[in-house]
Each structure stands twice: as structure tokens, then as C-alpha cells.
Amino acid sequence: MRVARTHMSRQRGLWMGIVLSVLVMAAASCGGPSFSRETTTALDRELDTVMASNKMPGAIAGVWIPSQGTWFVAKGEADVQAGMPMKTSDKFRIASVTKTFTATMVLILADDGRLSLDDKLSEYLPEIANAENITIRRLLNHTSGIRDEDPTGAWAEYFAHTDRMLKRWTPMEVYQAYTGSQVQEEPGEWEYSNAGYVVLGMVIEKVSGTSVPDFCEAEIARPLGLEDTYFPEGPEITGEYAHGYDGSTDVTRMDMSWDFTAGAMISTASDLKVWSKSFVTGELLSPEMLEQQNTFVELPGREGKVKEGLGPEYLYGWLGHAGANIGYQCEMWYYPEEDATIVVMMNKLSSDESDLGAATKAWMQLADTVFPGILPAPHR
């Protein structure tokens, strides 16, 4: 068993991370470089342009580059009806950025010897279709063969009324709605799978013996000081938050159990700034497990440029994740070469998907402003 070694290695990594964080804060108090007025004007312009073209009520965006400066802004409105301006501290639903937390929870369990990445799913959830041929690793990198379909029409019916999505789903109900409990494809081919990450949530609870919200709080949020990051256990968002919109309809009050460990979490831009680096650098993992996290699957037609790891997505040297659910869009990316982080949050995603990709375009435009030419030309 390698439990003690990897556990101690992970704890040493966490301790070093805390020490480094203190040193960084001390250094920051002594001042640091600032973006030029030309750069901040360009960053503002890029975000304003995307917001205007997508009729976005509000947005929060941050660019943090130790060697260049910090730009952190809130624009527009958090609550259109009340005319409440957006604040950088407002909470958001972060959609599929949740998957970065889910993946780390699984890797922590693997680090502690409580599961293996190459275990068969049938060891934990034999009731899942084709479980004997699916590994934990394949669930993490979206090659499990579990696809996001709607064979029973459950999703079509549920999403027809985005202003009253208050049903409390069990994880198994979510899996069944996506798949009809049927085998869709044999493992091996990459295909993005929300259902697969919902299954990982069930594995976390089975192996840990505790709920996903409690495990995430104990193993990730509390150690890193992420005070505004959590899995909601009802339709409300606590504290001050950005309302989410489907077109002009307020869809903030939503029970996110329908997305569970694929996309239910709530956070702030400041927390995601901390998490982005911690996640990519494996602050909570042993070096051995970080190496596993950064084992990538090449995406067809984009070899070497766009890849999928055991949690992180790789895009031209940036690592992180995108998220989009009804009412909210979120992008969280870290560029190790420059220790740079970009976070973008927007509070509208419409059912007709007319504004889908707005946050993606925004973060890419911001990235191209501070690091020209790294991302592909169509996004510049």
C-alpha cells in the first residue's frame, strides 16, 4: 500500500502551498507591477464589446499576471429588475467548472489509496450500464462511452420551463435521464459527458462514505480558504449573488441537483482565481497524482493544441475549464508559463443558445490582449 507515502506527500504539498501563499501576500503588500493604461483600456474594450454583442446584463472578469499586473472588474447589473450593479464579490453558478472540483475529489481518494484510477466502475456501481468495461480514468477524461442523450424525453420536458426548475433529483435519476440506463458506446472514443461526471459523484459518495458537499468542503474549500465555494443543497444562493437570466427571464432560483457533480457548484471570481492555480498545479495532490491528472487525451483534429486531462482541459498552453448552464456562463483558465490566471463570469445564457460562448469569446479576447498570438487567429 502507498497510502501513507502519498498522503504525506499531498499534505507536504498543501503545507508548502500555504507557506507560498503567505509569501505571495506579503510581497503583494509591498506593491507590484501594474498594467499600462493602454492595456487596461484594451481589456475593458474587449469585455464591453462581447457584453454588448450578446446583450449581457452583467459580467465579472479578472486577469492576474504577476509580471504584468492585475485587472479585476465588475460590469453591468447583478439584478436587472432591482437595478443592482454587479460587484466583483458576487456569487455565481459556475456550471461545468464544477468538474474541476469533482476530478480533484476523485484524485484525492486515489492519492489516499481508497480507489485506483484503473478500477472498474463495477467495483463501486455495478448497476451502471457497461460498468464492467468502464474505468474511473475513462470517466474523468470523457472516454467512458457514457453519452449525454435524452432517450426518455425527461430533459426536454424539464428544460421547457427554466423559470421553475425546482425538482430535487437524485444522482441516479440524473444518470437515467441522460442515458435511459442503456449502453450507448463502448469506452475509448472521446465525447464530453456530463452524465459521466454525475456517475463520478456517486463514486465519491460511495468510497468516501460522506456527501459530496461535505467532502468538497473538507478536502478542498476549507484547506484552500475558498469561503464562497460550495455545492448548494437547495434552489437558493446564499449571500450576495448575480441573478441569472434566460433571455429576459430570471432563472436564478433553480435546484441544481439536476447537474450534481457535473455542474452544480457556486463560487466567486476571487475564489476561482485561487482555485485555478491550485487545481492546475496540484496543490492538494501528490506529485505522482498530479502527473496522472496531466495525462491528456488528444482531441480528434486538434492534436497537440486541444486536449483533455483527468479534470483539466488544455487549450494552446492554457489549462482550466469552461462552464455554461441556463442563466450563467463561466471560464477559468491558468497559464503556467507566466503564472497567469483569467476568470470570466456572465449572468445570461438563453435556452435558444443565442448567447452561448459569450464568456468563452471574452476570455480568449482578454488572453490575446495580454499574450498576443498564443490562441488561434479566429478568436483574436
The Cα 172–Cα 143 span in angstroms is 20
pLDDT of residue 12: 38
Residue with cell 488561434: 376
pLDDT of residue 377: 59
Helices (H), ranges, 209-244:
212-216, 222-224
pLDDT of residue 76: 99
* pTM score, whole prediction: 0.91
Within 10 Å of residue 114's Cβ, how many Cβ atoms?
A: 13
Burial class (CB within 10 angstroms; exposed 0-12, middle 13-18, buried 19+) of 120: middle
Q: What are the pLDDT digits (tens) for 94-153?
A: 999 999 999 999 999 999 999 999 999 999 999 999 999 999 999 999 999 999 998 889
Nearest to 143 by CA among 197, 205, 87: 197
Contact 260, 167 (CB under 8 A): no
Q: What are the pLDDT digits (tens) for 315-359?
A: 999 999 999 999 999 999 999 999 999 999 999 999 999 999 999
The Cα 185–Cα 87 span in angstroms is 45
Rounded to the nearest integer, the mean pLDDT of the chain is 91
Average pLDDT over residues 20-36: 55
- Where residue 264 sits, what CATH number does that domain have? 3.40.710.10
Q: What are the pLDDT digits (tens) for 206-243?
A: 999 999 999 999 999 999 999 999 999 999 999 999 99
Burial class (CB within 10 angstroms; exposed 0-12, middle 13-18, buried 19+) of 51: buried
Least confident of 168-182, 222-236, 271-285: 168-182
pLDDT-derived band at 10 (thresholds 50, 70, 90) equals: very low
- Tell me the residue range of the domain where 53 lies: 3-379
The answer on pLDDT for 28 being more than 50 is no
In the chain, the number of structural domains is: 1
The alpha carbon of residue 193 and the mean position of all alpha carbons in its chain are separated, in whole angstroms, by 14
Who's near 214: CB < 8 A, 6+ residues apart?
Answer: none
pLDDT cut 70: percent of the chain above it: 91
